[in-house]
Structure 1
Amino acid sequence: MLTLTANAAQAIRDLTAATPEPAQSGIRISSQGEGSSSLTLTLATAPEPADEVVETEGARVYLDPVAATVLEDKSLDAGADDQGSVSFLVTEQSA
């Protein structure tokens, strides 16, 4: 299952704090369609019915079935640039 670093959890909490439903909001990672290797990340107010939910330290990530499979052995990290823009990075889970 996808894991979140402390940096990613904090970034997700920061992003969802300003949403209308912060208690249920998270980020959603979804595929671009069947057979596509591209994933997109968007803010979501709730999971879709088939989504897998990953919750760490109050941060929620909703994964569609394709994304859940692609990311099952990965870790999500986050960082910010000098302007404060957040970027997410998928890495291999450390042993």
Structure 2
Amino acid sequence: MLTLTPTAAQAIRDLTATTPQPEQSGVRISSKGESAGSLTLTLAVAPEPTDEIVEAEGARVYLDPVAATILDDKSLDAGADDQGGVSFVVTDKLA
């Protein structure tokens, strides 16, 4: 299952804090088509019926079935640029 670093969890909490329903909002990672070649990350107020839910430190990530399979052994991290923009990166889990 995908894991979240503390930095990613904080970034997700910050992004969802101002949504209409912050207690169930999260980010959704979904595939573009049936291909493992491209994933997108968007804000979501709730999971889709087939989504896998990953929760850590008060942050929620919703994964569509293809994304859940692709990211099963990965970790999600986050960083900020000089202008305060947030970027997410997927890495291999640390042993």
What is the TM-score of this pair, normalised by structure 2?
A: 0.98
Aligned position for 1:52: 52
Aligned amino acid, residue 34 of structure 2: E
How far did 1:36 drift?
4.5
Partner of 2:32: 32
Q: Percent identity?
A: 78
Indicate how the Cα distance of structure 1 residues 36 and 73 shifts in structure 2: closer, same or farther if over 3 A, else same: closer
List gaps (5 residues or longer) in structure 1: none
Query: How far 1:60 moved relative to its partner?
Result: 0.1
Query: Which secondary structure state, in structure 1, belongs to the residue aligned with residue 21 of structure 2?
Result: coil
Secondary structure (helix, strand or coil) at the match of 2:8 reads helix
Aligned residues: 95
Q: Tell me if the contact between 2:27 and 2:62 (Cα under 8 Å) persists in the aligned partners.
A: yes
Deviant stretches of 4+, over 6 Å: none
Distance in 1 between the 2:9 and 2:60 partners? 8
**1:58-94 CA distances to partner (integer Å, 9 max, x unpaired)?**
0000000000000000000000001000000000000
CA contact (8 A) 2:28 2:62 kept: yes
| TM-score, with structure 1 as normaliser | 0.98
Q: Secondary structure at the match of 2:62?
A: strand
